[in-house]
Structure 1
Amino acid sequence: MNLESPKVTVQKSSEEIFNYLSKVGNFEHIMPENIDKFEAGEESFLFALKGMPEIELKLKQVDAPKKIVLGSTSEKFPFSLTADIEENSESSSNVQLLFDGEFNPMVAMMVKKPLQKFIDTLIGNIEQK
């Protein structure tokens, strides 16, 4: 299952956005308001939204200043979340989040709308930073 956020323009350089998102603890500041738990380590973070199971994401790939890939540490819920960063100018960048998960059709049907809302919220909060 592949989901995409809208592409947003952020009034920061691609390097600034990359540096912000590559520090996994900063994801706490862009999470939805209904976050129930957030714990960050050096290269991973664990979070839970109200009514949802805990999810841990770990840095899998960094391609400065263009791409950051986070991957789930759960074998039951295998997915990646990629931040694509494209520089417009010294002070402006386009950012888009891409979700790629391998779920059976029943699970995919159940999680598609909440996941789309989640990545849309993340990108909206990135746009505000």
Structure 2
Amino acid sequence: MATFESKISINRPVSDIYQFLADFNNHGQLMPDNVQNWSASYSEAGFMVQNTIKLSLQITERIENKGINIAAVNNPPFPVQLNWLLEANGSSTQVTFTINAELNMMMKMMVSGPLQKLADHEAGSLKAVLNRD
């Protein structure tokens, strides 16, 4: 299992961040430019990565003001889980975004960089989106 993680602090209450992340409709704002054809409902999302891979995601667990767990569904190229962990810290919130992927050695060499960039991009975008509200 390969793990890619990004940690940030956002100067917002944990409840604001949880409410945003709990709805997949908001996650489109966090995606990098190579994500195309984003479509979402409250609990599911689908998209293409630069016309190469089609992915479907589903929120598998919502733990109020603590975290959101997401899994790739419908035959992803490799098993992957995404987890948002929220921790209140006074008036701010510590946010940890983790991508766990089951990768063989060849896949790990090919996708480790892009998956770490994705983790960093989504966490940074979350901070940017919520700080402008």
TM-score, normalised with respect to structure 2: 0.89
Alignment correspondent of 2:34: 34
Q: 1:34 Cα shift?
A: 2.9
Secondary structure of the residue that 1:32 maps to in structure 2?
coil
1:103 aligns with 2:103: yes
Match of 2:69 in 1: 69
CA distance in 1 between partners of 2:120 and 2:60 (Å): 22
Aligned length: 127
> Which residue number corresponds to residue 23 of structure 2?
23
Residue 87 of structure 1 aligns with an amino acid whose one-letter code is A
Shift of residue 43 of structure 1? Answer: 0.9
CA distance in 2, matches of 1:51, 1:117: 19
Q: Give the match's secondary structure for 2:25.
A: helix
The Cα shift of 1:51 comes to 4.7
Separation of aligned partners in 2, 1:71 and 1:61: 9
The CA RMSD over aligned residues, in Å, is 1.3
* Structure 1: distance between partners of 2:57 and 2:78: 11
Show CA shifts across 1:30-71 (max 9, x none): 111333210102311012232541211100111111111000
CA distance in 2, matches of 1:123, 1:83: 9
Q: Where does structure 2 lack aligned partners over 5 or more consecutive residues? A: none
Match of 1:4 in 2: 5
The separation in 2 between residues aligned to 1:84 and 1:8, in whole angstroms, is: 11
Give CA deviations for 1:1-21 in whole Å, capped at 9, x if unaligned: 11111x111111111101100
How much identity, in percent, do the aligned residues show? Answer: 27
User: Residue by residue, what CA displacement relative to the aligned partner does 1:78-114 show, whole Å, maximum 9, x if unpaired?
Assistant: 110000111012x310101011111211112111101
CA–CA distance in structure 2, aligned partners of residues 51 and 108 of structure 1: 21
Runs of 4+ residues over 4 Å off in structure 1: none
**CA spacing shift, 1:52–1:13, aligned 2, 3 Å:** farther
TM superposition score normalised by structure 1: 0.91
